[in-house]
A and B are shown apart, each in its own frame.
Chain A
Amino acid sequence: MTTTSPNQAPAGEKVVATWNNRIRLRFEIRGSGPALVYLHPAGGLFWDEFLARLAQHYTVYAPVFPGISPDDTFAIHQLDDIFDVVLAYEQALRSLGLENVPVVGQSFGGMLAAELSACFPKLFSKVALLDPAGLWNEEHPWSLDFISGPPEQLPALLFKDPTSEGPRSMFPPPSGPEEALDQAVTGIWGFGCMAKFLWPIPDRGLSKRLHRVTAPTLIMWGEDDRLIPVAYAEEFGRLIPHSRVELVPDCGHIPQVEHTDHTYATVTQFLAAH
């Protein structure tokens, strides 16, 4: 899905061979200005209003997770665990010269940004995590119902108010049966690919590694996140040394869509600060 922004920057893409040529990682690239890496959530890459605005000031590099691109669905079978993903991404980012640049990651993408920063502390200059996955404890259990449950329940899991404008724009009605089928196949398979690194309990030991993150880190979280409890905002804040936590009131799992202005202002101020 592509949002229509008045100042839509020109779009481009680069395909990078990584993981000993077993993965061809496709980066969608938009905007102009200093480089910024965006890591998308399990639902896939959507150029929403938040990203469109970021692209007015940054060149946004957004890698599309292996397996999700309809022309290379089997790429996912080249990656067995989260460390394969981290190493494949790190090599691809470096080969594009993307080092010491800021990263923004949402949900699964937030977990990946945190893993990359923990393993390669100098890779990113600043880290913005929006409702990231990766931590799980019994006090605040959360499930993968967004992947395994009935699809019609998805909007209510993702948003405080699924009927508001931003959330509705994420689920546009398909133009016809063919597009509906394309959307369903891509969406279901995409969830299946990401689930490989979350299933069955979304904890791959990130809590043991977060102390290694040295970049200044912003943790934003929707206070009413029904997917990953907001309690994990404090936990990320506690575990990452140079971090601050910003909660977004009246907001679910995707602040960049449900409260775009607030999220955009907070993230860009954080990125601009010295």
Chain B
Amino acid sequence: MKVTYIHHYPYRHLPEDFASRYDESVVTNPYFELVDPKLVHEDLRSALDEAMYAARAGFDAVALTEHGQSSYDMNPNPDLGAAALAYATELEGIETGIYTVGRSLGKSREPLRVAEEQAWLDCLSGGRLISGFPVGLAYDANVNAGVPPIETRARYDENFELILRAWTAREPFPFNGRFSQYPSVNIWPRPMQSPHPPVSVTGTGNPNTTRFSLQRDLGFNLVVLGVAAPNTAQRIFDDMWRMADELDVDDNPYRAAYAQSVVVAETDADAERLYAKHVEYSMSRGVGHIPMHRFALPGGISPQGLRVLLGQAMSAPTGGQTAPTYRELVESGAVIAGSPATVRERLADQAHSFRIGHLLANLQIGSMPTELTRHNIDLFSSEVLPHLRGIWSEYDGDNRWWPERLGGRPVSTKQADLTGARLK
């Protein structure tokens, strides 16, 4: 199993009454009213320090996400942080992957810039880049970036094709797209990895996205939120492996990655004492404080998909509107918390039941200060990580979703095939 350190860049100092005063942690939350610029500086610095701390501690990769106009993740472009981490890890000679889980292609209006930045990162890091191209959340792609919701997925398909072509074409070529046109595409540099860095797509449950990842042989990152996350994730991964079987695609667990919040302490009780308030901060003032309509906008989901999703929502019992507590999250497994022994056991169970070869361990949550984050990283890397490494070792020789320099195999021709399946 490969274990990646993943984190957001949250503003960690929002007031206690944030949830009652402000509707959301994205788009409309007022900046100048809420922040001290010195603390923003401190938080960004801490986030990069913590990622480096994790890299030194032996994580297989460090990962970054992308969310614009948000206080739970001040990360409008993951390539910025990735550049800093690529250089710093080179300086220190750390053999770790640089994993940009989020560089949204449904959102991007400058796809060629994405191809260039990512190729540059791959070269700077000496071929350690893992490229993640998610569709983009509705509030980010459609509100922040202004893309009409009905065009998000079409834009993704076109941008994806252009990027693969820009990375791999031997000769300059003109590109006549619906969303962008370029008379001569010939980017410098091209990626160092051949034919290109491994690519993953992130899903939140739309079966079209899962199918696309299997048809194109892309990595599939799953991110789900809330108390019900473990059940939802189990259903989505079960569907994924069933779909793989139907499509006659192998069931290599390294296809799949899951983002999991984890907090480790000496004992289970210590974990609650140390981390509960920071986890709850994330629920009431961070990623948990985003209204439903920011995740789904008219036009973004086809009528057929809507029928399924709304049908499920209408038949499900209506949940409470208040943010879940630490205990509720830990009880359901949405947050895995406790002593090293507890955490080891739960993560190993999950790796097997989901059939995931990649764990994206989210160890900095909400307002967690940097010292506490380091404590979490220390315990995780020394007491948990070594016990996860051996899981799925029988597939270690065929991890096509990991850089060759770090023990992976080159991406398959199916992934690099420009005429391959579309997301739609």
Which residues on A are within 8 Å of B, measured CB to CB?
70, 73, 76-77, 80, 147-150, 177, 180-181, 184-186, 188-193, 195-196, 199-201
Contact = CB atoms under 8 A, between A and B. Distances in A.
Contact of A188 (B146, B147, B154, B306): B306
B298 A189 contact: yes
A190 B298 CA distance: 8
B297 interface: yes
B422 to A, nearest CB: 13
A185 B313 CA distance: 13
* Residue among B149, B298, B300, B310 with the highest chain A CB neighbour number at 10 A: B298
A77 B148 CA distance: 13
A192 B310 contact: no
B25 to A, nearest CB: 17
B274 interface: no
Interface string B136-151: 0000001100111111
Contact of B149 (A80, A149, A150, A192): A192
Interface residues of B, number: 24
Contacts of B292: 150
B322 interface: no
Contact of B306 (A80, A177, A185): A185
Nearest to A190: B298
B142 A199 contact: yes
Contacts of A195: 148-150, 297-299
A55 B88 CA distance: 73
A4 to B, nearest CB: 28
B297 A148 contact: yes
B297 A192 contact: yes
A219 to B, nearest CB: 27
B291 interface: yes
B28 to A, nearest CB: 11
A200 B292 CA distance: 19
A25 B131 CA distance: 43
Interface string B294-310: 00011110110011001
A193 B142 CA distance: 14
A143 to B, nearest CB: 10
Interface in B36-55: none
B284 to A, nearest CB: 19
* Residue among B149, B311, B314 with the highest chain A CB neighbour number at 10 A: B149
Given A192-B149, A196-B150, A73 B299 contact: no
B146 A199 contact: yes
A76 B306 contact: no
Nearest to B144: A200
A22 B291 CA distance: 38
Contacts of A76: 150
Contacts of A80: 178
* Residue among B142, B147, B306, B310 with the highest chain A CB neighbour number at 10 A: B306
B310 A185 contact: yes
B170 interface: no
B293 interface: yes
Contacts of B151: 196
B300 A181 contact: no
Given A184-B306, A196-B151, A200-B147, 16 more contacts: A73-B303, A76-B150, A80-B178, A147-B297, A150-B291, A181-B310, A181-B314, A188-B306, A188-B310, A189-B299, A189-B306, A190-B298, A192-B150, A192-B297, A195-B298, A199-B148
A181 B307 contact: yes
Nearest to A76: B150
Interface in B262-297: 291-293, 297
A193 B306 CA distance: 14
A177 B299 contact: no
A182 to B, nearest CB: 9
A201 B142 CA distance: 11
22 contacts: A70-B303, A148-B297, A150-B291, A150-B293, A180-B314, A181-B310, A184-B306, A188-B298, A188-B306, A189-B299, A189-B306, A191-B298, A192-B149, A192-B298, A195-B150, A195-B297, A195-B299, A196-B148, A196-B150, A199-B148, A200-B143, A200-B146
